[in-house]
Amino acid sequence: MQKKYTRVSVMKIAFIIFIFLSFFLSLAFCQTIQLEKITVEKYRDFPVAGIESLYLQDFPQFSTEEIIDYSSSIDLRKRSPFGVQQDVSLRGSIFEDTAIHIGGIEVNDPQTGHFNLEIPLTSADIENVEIVKNAQAINFTLKEPQEEGLFLKASFGQHALWEELLSLNFPLGKINNRLSVEHKISSGARQDTDFEIYNFSSHSLWQASAAEIEFLFGSTERDFGAGSFYSAALPQAEEHTNQRFFSLRAGLKGDLFDLNNNLYFRRHGDKFIYNRNNPLSRINDHTTYVYGLQSNIVFNNDAFLKLNIEREKITSTNLDDHRRLKKGFSLGVKEKKFGDFIFALEAGLDYYENWEYLENIHVHLGYCLKDNSRLRFSFDRIWRAPSFTELYYNDTFYNIGNRNLTVQKSNNFELGLDYSCTDNFSFSISSFLRNQDDTIDWVKNNSQDPWQAENVGDLTFYGFDFYLEAGLEDCLLEEISLGYTYLNSHKKNPSRFSKYVFDYNSHKLVSNFGFNIKDILLHVIVNFSHPLERKKYTTVDLKVEKKIEDFTLILEGVNIFNKDFQELQDIESTGRWYKISVAYDF
C-alpha cells in the first residue's frame, strides 16, 4: 500500500533538511568567506541580567561540580565529595528540574537526574559557572584553547586521596588545542564510599576571518562504592558509570546575520550492584544515548531564530528499551536598550513524543534608575518531562515508576534590583515566585512501602535572595561576599513521606572572606543551612594559596570543624577533609 504523507510529515522532513543544510553550508562558508578579522560572539541562551557567576579560583576545588554549592540559591546534595555524584536543588527545584549545560549545550541525562552533574571535563577546562536562577539552569563555561601553555597539579590528602592533573595547550597549524587528563582515587570518608575517577578532554578551536569551528570531546569513568547513596537499605552498593560527550560547532558571522550550528552526542553507561560483597547480587545495567543538532541564527545582532532536534534512547535491564524524539523552535529578541529601558524576549514551541506540543517563554524587562543601578523583571515558562526512571523503574522493594506521569510545568517570576556604586562594591536583591503544575516527586505513606513516582499536584514556591560583594583597600581582608536565600512553599507534603520536593533549604547563608597576608591568599567560606525537615548546620571551608614563580602551593579543606550533619535524609554527610596540592603553570 502506498504511503500518504501528511502535512506534519512534510514539515518534519523539511525541518530536518533545513537544519542539516544550514550546518554543512556554514562549514563550507568557513572555508570561502574572506571578511575582516572579527571575533565570533558565541551564542548565549540567556540574557546577562539575573546570572550569578562563580569562578573556580576563588574556592576550594574538590571538584568542578561542587563549586555551585557556594551559591546561596543552590542546595547541593553530595552523597560523596570530589564530584563522584551529587544532586542539585535550585531555589527548591529538585535535581531533575534543573537544566545543566556545557558551553550552552544541555547535557541532562534522560535515565535519571542523578547523573546530570556528571561533568565529563577536568577542572582545567572550565572558566566559570553561570547560574541562571529564574530559568532553573546552570552553565559550565569553557576556557578557550590557547596557542601554548602547560598546567600540572598533584594533590594528596586524607582518606588515601591522590589526584593528578595535566593540561596542555598547543597549536596545530591555525588550530589551537587543549588536551587534559585528570585522575582521582580515595578509600572514601566512610564505609563503602571509595572511588576512582578518570577524566579526559580534547578541545580544539579554529578561527579565520569571520568564521570559526570548535570541537569538544569529554570523557569520564567513575567507579565507586555507593553505600546508602539512594537508600539506607543498600549500605553495600557499588556503581560504575562512564560518559562520552562530543560537540562540533560551526560559526559564521556575516553582514546581515550570525549563524551557529552545533552537532552533539552524549553516551552514558551505568552499572549498579546492589551488594558488592555478594557475587550473586542483583545488577542493573543502563545505557543512554542523546544526540541532536541545534541551529541558531541571529539577524543584525538583534532578532534570532533557534531550531533544534534531539533523540533520546535507553537500553536497560530494568527499564527495558525506550526512545523518544524532541524537536522545536523559538523566536526572540536579544537584550536591547531603549533609552533607560531594557527588553529581551524568547518564545518557542517543542514537540516531544508522548506529550506532543510544549511551550516555553522567557521575558526580561529592565529599567536603569541611574548609571549604577537597575530594576529588572523576568518571567520564564518552562517544563520538564519525566525521566525514564520515573516512568519505567520497577523494583517492588525500593522504587516503582509510573507510566502515567505527565509533564511538569512552571511559571517563574523574578523582580530584582542591582546596584554598584564603585568598582569595589556591588549589591543585588531579588524576590521570586514559582507556580508549578503537575509536580513530579517520589512519595509514600508508610515507611516500609517502596517509593512511588507521582504527580503530586500544584505547588507554589516563593522567597528572596540577596548578594553583596565588596573589595577593601589597604587591609588584610581584601574582599568579602555575602549571599542569602530564603525559600518557602504554600503547601505541605500531601503524603507522609516525600523523597525530594518537600525537603528543601528554608534558609541558606554563604559568606566568603578573602585575605592577603604577605602574598599568601586565604579564602574562608562559611555556609549556614537550615533545611525544612533536617537539622540546621554550619560548615567552614578554606583555601590557602602561595605562588612562588611558576609554582603554586595550595592547602584546601572542607568542613574543617568536622560538623556532623545530613545533606540527605538518613544519610550522613562527609566530615572534615583536607588536601595539599602543588601546581605548575607555564
DSSP string, 221-232: EEEEE-TTSS-T
In whole angstroms, give the CA distance from residue 454 to residue 401: 8
pLDDT band at 49 (very low <50, low <70, confident <90, very high): low
Q: How many residues comprise the chain?
A: 586
192: left (phi over 0), alpha (psi -120 to 50) or beta: left
Residue with cell 534570532: 304
Exposure class string for 202-213: b at 16+ Cβ within 10 A, else e:
bbbbbbebbbbb
Grid cell locating 308:
533544534
pLDDT tens digits, one per residue of 366-376: 999 877 889 99
Residue with cell 556532623: 564
Alpha carbon distances (Å) from 265 to 107, 145, 156: 9, 21, 34
**In the predicted model, what is the mean pLDDT of residues 430-436?**
95
**In the predicted model, what is the mean pLDDT of residues 31-45?**
35
pLDDT band at 227 (very low <50, low <70, confident <90, very high): confident
Q: Taking Cα atoms as reference points, which of 136, 81, 150 lies closest to residue 414?
A: 136
165-179, 207-221, 389-403: least confident range: 389-403
Cross-strand pairs, 525 = 512, 541
For 17, other C-beta atoms within 10 Å of its C-beta total: 10
In whole angstroms, give the CA distance from residue 106 to residue 350: 15
Q: What's the pLDDT at 26?
A: 43
Phi, psi of 83 (to 5 degrees): 75, 15
Q: Do residues 442 and 499 lie in contact, with contact meaning Cβ atoms separated by under 8 Å?
A: yes
pLDDT band at 114 (very low <50, low <70, confident <90, very high): very high
Exposure class string for 533-547: b at 16+ Cβ within 10 A, else e:
ebeebebbbbbbbee
Q: Do residues 75 and 91 lie in contact, with contact meaning Cβ atoms separated by under 8 Å?
A: no
Residue 397: pLDDT above 90?
A: no
- Structure pTM? 0.90
Q: What's the pLDDT at 252?
A: 92
Q: Three-state secondary structure along 77-132?
A: EEEECCCCEEEEEECCECCCCCEEEECCEECCCCCCHHHCCCCCCCHHHEEEEEEE
Cross-strand pairs, 272 = 239, 284
The rounded percent of the chain whose pLDDT value lies above 70 is 91
Alpha-carbon dihedral of residues 53, 56, 61, 65, nearest 10 degrees?
Answer: 40
Residue 6: pLDDT above 70?
A: no
Cross-strand pairs, 182 = 165, 199
97: left (phi over 0), alpha (psi -120 to 50) or beta: alpha
**In the predicted model, what is the mean pLDDT of residues 425-452?**
92
In whole angstroms, give the CA distance from residue 183 to residue 181: 7
> Which SS3 state, helix, strand or coil, does residue 203 take?
strand
Q: What's the pLDDT at 22?
A: 46
pLDDT tens digits, one per residue of 132-172: 999 999 999 999 999 999 999 999 999 999 999 999 999 99
In whole angstroms, give the CA distance from residue 382 to residue 409: 6
Grid cell locating 89:
536543588
Alpha-carbon dihedral of residues 380, 382, 13, 1, nearest 10 degrees?
Answer: -150
Residue 5: pLDDT above 50?
A: no
Cross-strand pairs, 107 = none
Q: What's the pLDDT at 421?
A: 78
* Domain range annotation of the chain: 12-585
pLDDT tens digits, one per residue of 327-386: 999 999 998 888 899 999 999 999 998 898 999 999 999 999 877 889 999 999 999 999
Residue 259: pLDDT above 60?
A: yes
Q: Do residues 220 and 235 lie in contact, with contact meaning Cβ atoms separated by under 8 Å?
A: no
How buried is residue 549: exposed, middle or buried, by Cβ count under 10 Å (0-12/13-18/19+)? exposed
**In the predicted model, what is the mean pLDDT of residues 466-494?**
88
Q: 194 or 33: whose pLDDT is higher? A: 194
Q: 234 or 116: whose pLDDT is higher? A: 116
Residue 442: pLDDT above 70?
A: yes
In whole angstroms, give the CA distance from residue 179 to residue 166: 8
pLDDT band at 234 (very low <50, low <70, confident <90, very high): confident
Q: Name, of 9-13, 251-255, 404-408, the range with top average pLDDT.
A: 404-408
> Which SS3 state, helix, strand or coil, does residue 10 take?
helix
Please work out, in degrees rounded to the nearest 5, the angle formed at the alpha carbon of residue 498 by the alpha carbons of 492 and 504. 70
The rounded percent of the chain whose pLDDT value lies above 90 is 68
Residue 306: pLDDT above 80?
A: yes
**In the predicted model, what is the mean pLDDT of residues 271-290?**
94
In whole angstroms, give the CA distance from residue 541 to residue 578: 10
**In the predicted model, what is the mean pLDDT of residues 560-574?**
81
CATH number of 12-585: 2.40.170.20
In whole angstroms, give the CA distance from residue 33 to residue 28: 9
Residue with cell 552533574: 117
- Which are the contacts of 446, defined by CB distance < 8 A and separation ≥ 6? 496
